[in-house]
């Protein structure tokens, strides 16, 4: 039975920007960052960049974030493909209403054999053994339930029978079962989620997940997330926060 502790997060889509030919707009970034700057400058037709402090894309987006003109970040989106996280964590993630989700179906796909091991368990041999044994028993019960339900539904057509068996048997699986999810959000919504769950008050797995999301988003849209700081807590865990704004 596979067990894992670190999520895999890939950026699979971001916004592109197509500058209109008749507008004298130029900037030193592309994609969603250029799009957000364009949207902001369009409010004032400030194409000539009169303020030197905001003449770069980084300076402009920093100013946008400082003054809370965050709506311009809503024009740009990023899609992340998240794997190796627990169903428990995605249950919390999907509470955020401004992100869009497509998650692995537990009714159509046989249960992921991997379980995500929480950090305090993974770092202790006895606890890891206890967790592993419990996960193994659950998995075995799942398999037995599948077989038993399929036998009882022998009069039902094959594919429908398996689906009904899976959807019933998966209810037994714990929150630690692995899952995968495609998540799309505009940059403002991603910032809100990172700010909400980057703190020490958040669930450990979710906090690590949003920090990983932050790292990936910074790879494609660094200026929209430059104000976030990742710091080490005394016990070795990490947290992320922005000194510039409180997200709203």
Ligand X SMILES: Cc1cc2nc3c(=O)[nH]c(=O)nc-3n(C[C@H](O)[C@H](O)[C@H](O)COP(=O)(O)OP(=O)(O)OC[C@H]3O[C@@H](n4cnc5c(N)ncnc54)[C@H](O)[C@@H]3O)c2cc1C
From residue 138, how far is each of 109, 145, 172, 238 by CA, in Å? 17, 10, 7, 31
Give 106 or 186: the residue with its C-beta nearer to ligand X: 186
By CB under 6 A, is residue 237 in contact with ligand X?
Answer: no
Give 41 or 197: the residue with its C-beta nearer to ligand X: 197
Give 21 or 201: the residue with its C-beta nearer to ligand X: 201
Buried b (16+ CB within 10 A) or exposed e, 44-71: eeeeebeeeebebbbbbbbebbeeeebe
With CB under 6 A as the contact rule, the residue among 98, 107, 108, 152 that binds ligand X is 98
N- to C-terminal Cα distance for the chain? 42
Residues 6+ apart with CB under 8 A from 142: 111, 169, 170, 172, 173
Give 11 or 196: the residue with its C-beta nearer to ligand X: 196
Give 114 or 186: the residue with its C-beta nearer to ligand X: 186
Give 180 or 247: the residue with its C-beta nearer to ligand X: 247
Are residues 178 and 112 in contact, defined by beta-carbon separation less than 8 angstroms? Answer: yes
Give 98 or 108: the residue with its C-beta nearer to ligand X: 98
Which residue stretch of 27-35, 61-69, 95-103, 231-239 sits at the interface with ligand X (rule: CB under 6 A)?
A: 95-103
What is the x/- site pattern for ligand X, positions 54-93, by CB under 6 A? ----------------------------------------
Residue 242 Cβ, how far from ligand X at the closest point, in Å? 15
With CB under 6 A as the contact rule, the residue among 24, 97, 235, 243 that binds ligand X is 97
Closest by alpha carbon to 207, among 93, 103, 131?
93
Taking CB atoms, the residue at the shortest distance from ligand X is: 97
Q: Which residue has the tokens 């770069």?
A: 56
Closest by alpha carbon to 102, among 166, 184, 206, 163?
184
Are residues 87 and 177 in contact, defined by beta-carbon separation less than 8 angstroms? Answer: yes
Closest by alpha carbon to 193, among 78, 86, 87?
78
Closest by alpha carbon to 224, among 195, 246, 191, 198?
191
Residue 241 Cβ, how far from ligand X at the closest point, in Å? 12
By CB under 6 A, is residue 96 in contact with ligand X?
Answer: yes
Closest by alpha carbon to 191, among 207, 214, 212?
214
By CB under 6 A, is residue 108 in contact with ligand X?
Answer: no
With CB under 6 A as the contact rule, the residue among 18, 50, 95, 234 that binds ligand X is 95
Residue 133 Cβ, how far from ligand X at the closest point, in Å? 29
Q: Distance between CA 20 and CA 2 in Å, rounded?
A: 51
Size of the site for ligand X (CB under 6 A): 10
In the region spanning residues 169 to 208, those forming contacts with ligand X, defined by CB under 6 A, are 192, 196-197, 201-202
Residues lying near ligand X in the complex (CB under 6 A) are found at 95-98, 192, 196-197, 201-202, 248
């Amino acid at each position: 039975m596979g067990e894992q502790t670190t999520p895999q997060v890939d950026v699979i889509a971001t916004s592109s920007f197509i500058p209109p030919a008749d507008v004298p707009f130029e900037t030193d970034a592309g994609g969603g960052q250029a799009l957000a700057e364009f949207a902001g400058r369009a409010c004032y037709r400030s194409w000539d960049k009169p303020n030197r402090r905001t003449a770069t894309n980084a300076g402009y987006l920093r100013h946008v974030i400082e003054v809370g003109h965050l709506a311009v970040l809503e024009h740009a989106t990023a899609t992340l493909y998240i794997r190796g996280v627990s169903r428990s964590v995605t249950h919390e993630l999907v509470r955020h209403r401004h992100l869009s989700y497509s998650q692995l179906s537990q009714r159509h796909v046989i249960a992921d054999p991997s379980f995500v091991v929480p950090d305090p368990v993974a770092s202790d041999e006895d606890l890891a053994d206890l967790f592993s044994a419990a996960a193994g028993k659950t998995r075995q019960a799942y398999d037995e339930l599948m077989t038993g339900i399929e036998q009882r539904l022998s009069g039902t057509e094959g594919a429908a029978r398996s689906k009904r068996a899976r959807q019933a048997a998966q209810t037994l699986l714990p929150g630690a079962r692995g899952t995968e999810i495609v998540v799309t959000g505009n940059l403002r919504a991603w910032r809100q989620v990172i700010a909400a769950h980057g703190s020490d008050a958040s669930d450990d797995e979710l906090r690590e997940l949003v920090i990983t999301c932050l790292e990936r988003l910074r790879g494609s849209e660094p200026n929209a997330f430059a104000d976030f700081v990742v710091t080490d807590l005394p016990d070795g865990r990490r947290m992320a926060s922005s000194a510039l704004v409180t997200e709203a």
